[in-house]
Amino acid sequence: MRVLLVEDEPELGATVVARLSAAGFVVDHFTCLGDAIEAVLSAQYRAVLLDRRLPDGDGLSLIAVLKTRPSPPPVLILTALDDVPDRVAGLDAGAEDYLIKPFAFEELLARLRVLLRRNDVGAHVPLITIGRLAYDLAAREPIIDGHSLALPRRELAILDALMRRAGRVVMRENLEANVYGFDDDISSNALEAHISRLRKRLADAQAGVILHGVRGVGYMLRAA
């Protein structure tokens, strides 16, 4: 699940990236408006975490650009501007939520989950099941026989993409977009390595699924 963070305070930015990555998100982090605009024009994000006071302008300008995109992601504004007119301006501009700095990371994560759940097209069917493997879309949690299956974050990102398109082939490029941020170094066989570890983990857990490779195209997950 790929999210965009636009934040120019180095320490806060680095902390949020580290914590979100640990929580299983792929995070693209930019420190100015110009780079963030370029990013939203070329990548699809599930959510945007947006600071307002940026070196080259008000973060709210990004929202106007997002609105021109197909299925614009929800925006959570992170800012120290806490008086009422500023909050209203943010929400008027189309932001879905507002978090005042300083904030506890747990609160950021909780708000982010609410946004994702609210905007998830699959929100009415939060659980997808293939074989013995169930997947909670909102919580991004694989479950086998009622027990959560712990996965490293890249494998979880791959499984997330495959479960969301259960029974259909997910193109290799789409998987890579889901798994890697702009800053990651992708070696040509890195995806295959993650896929093969995920395949083994699913087999070991007796998930009852087959992670099937379609040569030159991508991968799909189906019941065994």
By CB under 5 A, name the binding residues for Ca ion.
Answer: 8, 51, 53
Q: Which is nearer to Ca ion, 8 or 136 (CB)?
A: 8
Minimum distance from CB of 82 to Ca ion (Å)?
A: 13
215 three-state secondary structure: coil
Residue 209 is which amino acid? V
Q: Which is nearer to Ca ion, 53 or 118 (CB)?
A: 53
Minimum distance from CB of 59 to Ca ion (Å)?
A: 8
Report whether 179 contacts 26 (CB < 8 A): yes
Minimum distance from CB of 67 to Ca ion (Å)?
A: 22
200-204 long-range contacts, CB within 8 A, separation 24+: 201/149, 201/151, 201/155, 202/133
Cα 152 from Cα 131, distance rounded (Å): 21
97 three-state secondary structure: strand
Q: Which is nearer to Ca ion, 63 or 158 (CB)?
A: 63
Minimum distance from CB of 42 to Ca ion (Å)?
A: 23
Nearest residue to Ca ion by CB is: 53
Q: Which is nearer to Ca ion, 51 or 155 (CB)?
A: 51
Minimum distance from CB of 33 to Ca ion (Å)?
A: 11
133 three-state secondary structure: strand
Q: Which is nearer to Ca ion, 61 or 129 (CB)?
A: 61
Phi–psi pair at 51, nearest 5 degrees: -80, 150
